[in-house]
Amino acid sequence: MTVMIDGKKTASQIQSELVNKAQALKKAGLTPCLAVVLVGDDPASQVYVRNKHRAAQKIGIKTKDIHLPKETSQAELLKLITELNSDPTVHAILVQMPLPAQIDAEAMINTIAPEKDADGLNPTNIGHLFMDDPRALACTPRGIMTLLEKYQIEVAGKEVVIIGRSNLVGRPLAALMLNADATVTIAHSKTKDLKKIARQADILVVATGRAEMITKDHIKEGAVVIDVGINRLADGRLVGDVAQGDLDGYVSYLTPVPGGVGPMTIAMLMQQTLELAEKSR
């Protein structure tokens, strides 16, 4: 039988544990605060921001929710981030992406102070990660590593193939896997003979953003499959980047969509906010 990796349950357990940590910080005179900036009215982004706000409320993390109009200029956003960097009551900053076309996401990420980088995407933090000196971490990769640890899935010495090389998932996850002593291959849109590469994996992580792109033909029997994608089909169904229909009993572990990796991203954001608040002392 394939073991389904329950990210929703694991995230809930982690968030319950974080309540005590938040209370301890408050007793010490420190109220952890996450600033969440939303530019524009993208419906999906609004849902994500609401989910983060609710999770923070449950744990006891204060949120500073800032909603800017879609016409906001890059200079205005960077000025706001600079002000939040200087605000001692704010311990973590997250700018919800995607951003409107007039704003350069890279400039935004570079402006967030590394010590307040809730998403773990500032180049300083990425550099520390690749030097095996992790500070703030990208939340989705951190969530993946936490799931593997919770399910006692060994990483050291394993062949790990990551399909997708984004700055959000593929690249930082590769560094985390390397730091955990895995042998890592990153595949992408230019990779030749993707099926051959993918079938080498003991642990296959798929983050392509293309619905059900990876099929059973890409996967070695008994592999661990981590499906990062979430895509809505024309009929309204949510599916991942892996066609999961015929994998039961073929792979050893599998993250479902929804309910797999997704909930862990928010849990890691909350955990990182508390860690950044604690380090600020």
Q: In the CATH scheme, what is the homologous superfamily, with its name and number, of domain 30-114?
A: Leucine Dehydrogenase, chain A, domain 1 (3.40.50.10860)
12 is in an annotated binding site: no
As a 3-state breakdown, the chain gives helix, strand, coil percent values, each rounded to 5, of 40, 15, 40
Catalytic residue among 6, 116, 117, 119: 119
Asked whether 256 and 244 are in contact (CB, 8 A), the reply is yes
- pLDDT for residue 135: 95
What does DSSP assign to residue 103?
S
Structure tokens at 236: 């309204």
252 is in an annotated binding site: no
For residues 53 and 61, what is the distance between their CA atoms, to the nearest angstrom?
9
Rg over CA atoms, the chain: 19
For residues 72 and 80, what is the distance between their CA atoms, to the nearest angstrom?
11
pTM for the whole thing? 0.95
- pLDDT for residue 281: 87
Catalytic residue among 6, 15, 21, 52: 52
139-262 domain in CATH 3.40.50.720? yes
Say whether 4 sits in a helix, a strand or coil: strand
Q: Which amino acid is located at 211 in the chain?
A: A
- pLDDT for residue 261: 97
Q: Which part of the chain has CATH 3.40.50.10860? A: 30-114
Q: Would residue 119 show up in a list of annotated catalytic residues for this protein? A: yes
Closest CA to 270 of 36, 77, 30: 36
Q: Would residue 26 show up in a list of annotated catalytic residues for this protein? A: no
- Counting Cα atoms < 13 Å in the Cβ hemisphere of 40 gives 17
260 is in an annotated binding site: no
Structure tokens at 17: 């544990």
Q: Would residue 200 show up in a list of annotated catalytic residues for this protein? A: no
Closest CA to 10 of 119, 170, 153: 153
- pLDDT for residue 241: 97
Q: pLDDT for 189-218, tens place per residue? A: 999 999 999 999 999 999 999 999 999 999
- pLDDT for residue 44: 86
Catalytic residue among 15, 96, 271, 272: 96
Which residue's entry shows tokens 């006692």? 152
189 is in an annotated binding site: no
Q: Which residues of the chain have pLDDT under 50?
A: none
Number of neighbouring beta carbons within 10 Å of residue 209: 14
Q: Which part of the chain has CATH 3.40.50.720? A: 139-262
User: Per-residue b/e over 160-171, b at no fewer than 16 CB within 10 Å?
Assistant: bbbbbbbebbbb
